[in-house]
Amino acid sequence: MSGELPPHRAGVRGGDPGLQVLYQEVILDHTRRPRNCRAIEGGRQAEEYNAICGDRVTVYARVEEGVIRDVSFLASGCAIVNASASLMTETVAGLATADASALADRFHRMIAAAPGADIEDLGTLTALAGVRMFPIRIRCANLPWEALRAALAG
């Protein structure tokens, strides 16, 4: 696997009502039916905790030769934490660890961008771009990514 996401378009705003509905459906789907919600025995793991709201997520990763061969999570938290973790695991599986770390940077820039600012299209991850309208929720969306970084570093 090349570690590349589908082509990105600069300037995605997500203001289209149709896109907003689609993004809401993606988030609800990943909240109701999270992907890769399980522990991985013998792999790397890291936990992150949000003391403000009590969200907690543990990310598990099995890395071989610098590539994420398997990734999963267990979470106790809000819909945004669970959807973000589920989407993250689907996206980073098969990526080189360096590519996953770079994607984590890009994801954080997207969710922390000012409302109305142009953002990078990160495929299905773009469904979470709306959290930038609610600054308190940015930490929720980023929590799984912080745990991923810690797991990959460990």
pLDDT tens figures, 8-49: 323 334 456 555 665 689 999 999 999 999 999 999 999 999
Q: Model-level pTM?
A: 0.86
Q: Express each pLDDT in 85-138 by its tens digit.
A: 999 999 999 999 999 999 999 999 999 999 889 999 999 999 999 999 999 999
Q: Quick one: which of 46, 114, 57 has its CA closest to 81?
A: 57
Q: Is residue 39 part of a domain?
A: yes
Q: Is residue 3 part of a domain?
A: no
Q: Is residue 12 part of a domain?
A: no
137: domain range? 17-153
Nearest-10 Cα torsion for 56, 129, 145, 27: 50
Dihedral sign, Cα of residue 112, residue 66, residue 75, residue 6: positive
Residue 154 confidence (pLDDT)? 83
Q: Which segments of the chain are extended strands (E)?
A: 44-49, 56-64, 67-76
Number of domains in the chain: 1
7 vs 24, higher pLDDT: 24
Q: Is residue 83 part of a domain?
A: yes
Q: Is residue 125 part of a domain?
A: yes
Q: Is residue 115 part of a domain?
A: yes
Domain CATH for 149 = 3.90.1010.10
Mean pLDDT calculated for residue range 56-75: 98
